[in-house]
Chain A
Amino acid sequence: MLSKEFTINSQYGFHLRPAQVMVEKMTPFESEVKMKKEDGTEADAKSLLGLMSLGLNDGQTVRIDINGNDELEAMEVVEELFRTNFGE
């Protein structure tokens, strides 16, 4: 399993569009991808509702856990998404 921390950087928090991008990019991967908040609540990163239910605000830290055959590739994509701020 791979695990890495990221910081949300969007004035509206992790809102609809970044969440949509996340779901879109993660769905093709076989691996299980979880996004975890600091308070322990977690969501399936392939579920828009799950991600949005986390209610992530600007500046919060999240942990991404990826578990599966293509976890390396999936983590690379996650890193790219956070680096480019989900195309904002």
Chain B
Amino acid sequence: MAEKIYQGIGVSDGIRSGIAFIYRREPEPDTNRTVSKEQTEAEAKRLDHAVEQAGQEIDRLIARASETLDSGDAAVIKGQKTFLADPAYCPEMKKLILGRQYSAEKAVREVTDRYAAVFEGMNNRYMQERATDVRDAGTRLLNYLSGVQSSGLSKIDHPVILIADDLSPSDTVQLNREMILAFATRQGGKTSHTSVFARSLGIPAVVGVPEIMEEVADGETLILDGNRGVCVASPEPETRKVYLAKMEEEHRKAELFGRFASRNAQTKDGARIIAAANIGSAADAEDSLKKGAEAVGLFRTEQVYLSTKSLPDENAQFEVYRKVAECFGSKEVIVRTLDVGGDKEIKYLGIEKETNPFLGYRAIRYCLDRKEIFLTQLRAILRASAFGRLAVMFPMISGMQELAAAKTMVEEAKEQLRGKGEPFDESIRIGMMVEIPSAALMASALAKEADFFSVGTNDLVQYTLAVDRGNEKVSYLYDYFDPAVIRLIRLTADAASSAGIPMGMCGAMAGDPLAVPLLVGLGLSELSMAAGSLAQTKYILSRLDTGSCRELAEKSDRCRNATEVRSLLQEYFETEIKEI
């Protein structure tokens, strides 16, 4: 057979090679039958019986799902149970049976189709995908009516790449997960059940591949690349070789890093460095914990504002912050106050277009001007601090005045809460981002007023080098390995250490393997990054000796440009860390 390549949407990372298992649903029963007047009572009873059995089956599935899956999946199946008990669902069917002499099957089909069509017609992808849940409830009833109950999915007893039209919760719950190498489905999007399910189990998946059901045969060899959303059927030996090498590389790294994910980050000589995650929501918080986050070094609160059409009130914000605080328990979560403006636009805040937005009315400048908005957020964060270990971090502090003004606002928010008898963490730590060169230069003064520093490299680089990285004509100048940037980081780190306050980093640089030894050498105590980089960073840290990192940092101080820094770090990496 000739090689066939299919492009879909990669929704869960990883590459797998295996045998295709095509899952087709049972042929549909006759759903066009009517019955005689005398039979309607019996037909209604037949439906009642199927509803009862289907309900019991769902209960069993829920019990099973809550053991093995997270609560989200169990909730989807519960949704089906609610459909079965819905006053607009089965009672509607009975009306059709008794009133219009429909067979039970015809009634199920008609009512199910009616509601599924309503959902499919909605202009909201989430709701469109709920049509699957209704159809699934309908299919389950039809199965019980016709006596067909098992779908063949539970019989999979050897490792396969499962190909289906779409998979519903009741399909996936039947699967023996050990036997599923990957999924490919004809339908679905990033938020469809198959996608969420695959990601939660770490099984590679590609969805939205239109031809796959018709063209791929049962038992055909298949390579599935969830990173790029590609499926290759009957791959040529050349293709196979390429993917095999990729898989081996992936496997080796996963093995290597995986062992470090759940450990505390620590250097070879026993220095503790906190490997923290950057998050934007409560869902990110859960995910980052699974991936080994020891803290949150940056909780971007902009998403809380972006997800609403008007200003979120104190309670709405509090709920989000509380969820994250509870999720991390005794581990610290650094909440950055609203960092709006620049390239981050929130329409309802009404920030006018400026000719130079990055140097304009943004972040802490906006918040210190719009005191009510700032106080609302601070109160929400403070209230949430009673449920975990939160810290407050101000963005874009350019000097002492702004830090003092922002701290005064925190005091004011605390006073308001005390007045209302609302509990909060009285000793909550208040820190600041160092992302403006003036703040780095004044770090020794600022360090006496802040409880911690966190370097935001993205802005620090652009302000230090005067480079807009979105501008392709100059973006080649944007480099956090520029010695000027590193000197500012050093200045900040030295100030933090003399003042005895911790210093972290939450920009892109913190997750760069090449940068890790340098940052350790400069004396940073927390690295905050995208959750996906945590295991790798922990691994790198475990191979480092702080003394040798310090020497490396000294050496970097003599570099004259970014290229020299980069090659110094590259060389260090190759000799000290070797395998990666």
Contacts and interface: CB of A to CB of B under 8 A. Distances in A.
Interface of A: 9, 11-13, 15-17, 20, 23, 43-44, 46-50, 52-53, 55, 57-59, 83-85, 88
B394 to A, nearest CB: 27
Contact of B88 (A17, A49, A88): A49
Given A50-B87, A53-B115, 18 more contacts: A12-B126, A13-B127, A16-B79, A20-B82, A44-B87, A47-B89, A48-B86, A48-B88, A49-B83, A49-B86, A49-B88, A49-B134, A50-B86, A52-B130, A55-B122, A55-B124, A58-B309, A84-B315
Contact of B130 (A9, A16, A44, A83): A16
A86 B94 CA distance: 32
Contacts of A23: 82, 86
Nearest to B131: A52
B82 A55 contact: no
B471 interface: no
A48 B127 contact: no
A35 B88 CA distance: 14
B127 A15 contact: yes
Nearest to A20: B82
Contacts of A15: 124, 126-127, 130
A84 B323 CA distance: 14
15 contacts: A11-B307, A12-B124, A13-B126, A16-B76, A23-B86, A44-B88, A48-B79, A48-B82, A48-B86, A49-B89, A50-B86, A50-B88, A52-B119, A55-B121, A83-B315
B84 to A, nearest CB: 10
- The listed residue with most A CB atoms (<10 A of its CB), out of B75, B121, B122, B130, is B122
A57 B307 CA distance: 13
Contact of B118 (A55, A58, A88): A55
Interface in B419-435: none
B401 interface: no
Contacts of B134: 49
Interface string B105-130: 00000000001001101101011001
B459 interface: no
Contacts of B75: 17
B355 interface: no
B319 interface: yes
Nearest to A44: B87
A85 B319 contact: yes
Nearest to B79: A16
- The listed residue with most A CB atoms (<10 A of its CB), out of B76, B86, B115, is B86
Closest 8 pairs between A and B when the two form their complex, measured CB to CB: A47-B88, A12-B126, A49-B88, A53-B118, A55-B122, A50-B88, A11-B307, A47-B87
B316 interface: yes
A13 B130 CA distance: 13
A12 B86 CA distance: 22
B124 A57 contact: yes
B25 to A, nearest CB: 22
A88 B312 CA distance: 13
A48 B83 contact: yes
B319 A88 contact: yes
B308 interface: yes
Contact of A9 (B79, B133, B308): B308
A60 to B, nearest CB: 11
A55 to B, nearest CB: 5
B115 A49 contact: yes
A49 B87 CA distance: 8
B123 to A, nearest CB: 8
A25 B76 CA distance: 18
Contacts of A47: 86-89
Nearest to B111: A49
Contacts of A20: 78-79, 82
A88 B449 CA distance: 37
A17 B75 CA distance: 8
A46 B87 contact: yes
A50 to B, nearest CB: 5
Contacts of A12: 124, 126-127
Contacts of A85: 316, 319
B127 A52 contact: yes
A58 B88 CA distance: 24
Contacts of A50: 86-88
A3 to B, nearest CB: 21
Contact of A13 (B124, B309, B315, B319): B124
Given A20-B79, A23-B82, A55 B87 contact: no
A16 B128 CA distance: 11
A44 to B, nearest CB: 6
B126 A59 contact: no
Contacts of A43: 88
- The listed residue with most B CB atoms (<10 A of its CB), out of A15, A47, A52, is A52
Nearest to B134: A49
Nearest to A47: B88
